[in-house]
Structure 1
Amino acid sequence: MSIVVSEICPSWTTFFGFMGAASSLIFANFGSCYGTAKAGVGVCVMGVMHPQLIVKSTIPTIMAGILGIYGLIVAIIIGMGITNEYPLYNSFAHLAGGLCVGFSSLAAGITIGIVGDAGVRANARQPKLFVGMLLILIFGEALALYGVIVGLILATKGSSNKCTVGAPTS
């Protein structure tokens, strides 16, 4: 299979596609790691006072761990869409999709980490705060879901232009 180069398919377009896949996974994992670490500290501190609440208090760390899966899914979809005949339009769509998922998951991870840390500590002192903490965590996770939805739409959006020499550019 030969590599085709034209105005709509320059040889450097794969760079943007691979950057989309990488940014999807990297930023989502940053968010996941931060959320897990921050909420995990709260679980450890709370576990000293009330060891019976440890399992119930791991919900924020589980929610933070899901963020990395979002980035992985979109990175795989983007990676599968990168071929030798790769239009410029697709490369930019894949970059935008990866950035949507990555940055949305990063923001959600920061939210989940901060709320999870404070929430599990507060829940140890006042059990009635559990539902409130859970609602705030769900709203934080929704930020990542918005990014995944838009990222998937962008990652699966393809150009009908074929990469052939002399193909129309409009």
Structure 2
Amino acid sequence: SYGTAKSGVCLYYALLLLLQLLISLGRRIYGLVVSVLIAGDLSTTMSLAKGFVQLGAGLSVGLAGLAAGFSIGIVGDAGVRETAQQPKLFVCMILILIFAEVLGLNGLIVALIMNTSAGSMTVCPVLYLPLDANVSKSVLRNFTPTTEAQEF
């Protein structure tokens, strides 16, 4: 009966580790979703603003996933140790892990909003300069706006 009890305890801790693995899988899926959306929107004539917005979307989901990963790792480490000493803390640990995962979900939401707003951006055919810019009049006289996108 001692061996059965020991194997039951080991199974309990294995399930805790499996739960942490499943929670960490979500952040990978968030990054994959955003990268597929950005890659599906690539074109040869893309504005600089659209590129920066898509870069910001990728950074948003990536850095939020990194922060969520650190927090889940810290909570999981301390939570497993404390749950071994006092099993009543299991539910509290799961709740804190869920709150830590919400960081990654917020990054996904921000990235989706940014990628949606980037879809409406087009190549700007006209250069707009502020009125108080120190630009000589000869530069403005020789400027001819084009309707074609410039490739770099």
Same fold, TM-score > 0.5, yes or no? yes
Q: 1:77-116 alignment to 2 at 5 Å?
A: 77-116=37-76
Q: Distance in 2 between matches of 1:107 and 1:119?
A: 18
| Aligned residue number for residue 19 of structure 2 | 59
Q: What is the CA deviation profile of residues 99-124 of structure 1, one whole-angstrom value per residue up to 9, with x for unaligned ones?
A: 00000000000000111121122212
Give the aligned CA root-mean-square deviation in angstroms: 2.4
Larger Rg over CA atoms:
2
Q: How many residues get paired?
A: 122
Of residues 135, 138, 146, the one that matches 1:166 is 146
Q: Distance in 2 between matches of 1:91 and 1:139?
A: 32
Gaps of 5+ in 1: 1-46
| Aligned residue number for residue 32 of structure 2 | 72
Q: What is the CA deviation profile of residues 113-153 of structure 1, one whole-angstrom value per residue up to 9, with x for unaligned ones?
A: 11112112221221100111011101100001111000011
Q: Distance in 2 between matches of 1:78 and 1:48?
A: 47
Q: 1:102 to 1:48 in 2, by over 3 A?
A: farther
Q: Which runs of 4+ in 1 moved over 3 A?
A: 162-165
Q: TM-score, normalised by structure 1?
A: 0.65
Q: Distance in 2 between matches of 1:142 and 1:161?
A: 33
Report how far residue 156 of structure 1 moved.
2.3
Gaps of 5+ in 2: 1-5, 126-144
Q: TM-score, normalised by structure 2?
A: 0.72
